[in-house]
Amino acid sequence: MVKMAPSVLSADFSQLAEQIKIVERAGADWIHLDIMDGHYVPNITFGPLVIAGIRKITHLTLDAHLMIENADAYLAAFQEAGVNQLTVHVEACPHLWTTIDKIHDLHLRAGITLNPATPISLIEPILHRVELVLVMTVEPGFGGQRFIDAMVDKIAALHKFKQEHKLSYEIQVDGGIDETTAPSVVRAGATVLVAGSSIFGVADIAAAFHRIKTAAEMAKNGESL
């Protein structure tokens, strides 16, 4: 089964609770939280206070993607807000092994993000220590960007490494995911799909969710639309 992690970055924040409930009823597995600080990426989103509010309205896994500098200083705050897993960027964590250990010490699942220009070789020594690898198929910082096709090969390489080394990390993909791009990343080995504007940016959120989910599952089963 391919997991779905709708990104609330693209939701209407005046109707956030209602829209989270819509994707929850539609079958979402995780709620993806894009945390940006205006330094590591050129945008500012939300922090622990908003996440604590989201935690009160859903039982789903809260999947926090930290696009922030000095992530170590905020790990505990996100844990207290109710997240279940924290994914950090290699470039923003100069002592990555220690950061992963700190996330685990908080009893959270840990993930590492690969930007489009970040090679897999940079994280190979620590892949046995994480539960999640997030492949960005757009540049981080803003929603609604166009999918970078070349990232499909990176997903396939991560899947191959995972099999060869008998590892169990999830391969999550974020950026430009919709019903047309979902099949290619799933066939390459993706196990979790993040989708924002393609779900929350349309009138019928549940129908959009189901279109992507159906396309992903058909690809997983070797079928075509």
Residue 101 among the catalytic residues: no
- Cβ 173 vs Cβ 147: under 8 Å: no
Residue 145's pLDDT is: 75
Query: Domains plus CATH for the chain?
Result: 4-8+12-220 (3.20.20.70)
Active site residue 63: no
Cα–chain-centroid distance for residue 57? Answer: 20
- pTM, entire model: 0.96
Are 41 and 140 in contact by the 8 Å Cβ rule? The answer is: yes
Catalytic residue among 34, 37, 63, 178: 34
pLDDT given for residue 225 in this prediction:
52
Q: What is the rounded CA–CA span in Å between residue 68 and residue 48?
A: 13
Rounded distance, CA 50 to CA 168, Å?
31
Active-site pick, 29, 63, 174, 178: 174
pLDDT tens digits for range 131-160: 999 999 999 877 667 899 999 999 999 999
Would you give the distance in Å from CA 3 to the centre of its chain?
11
Q: Determine the Cα–Cα distance for residues 210 and 190; give it in Å rounded to an integer.
A: 18
Listed in sequence order, the DSSP H helices in 119-204 are: 151-164, 182-188, 197-200
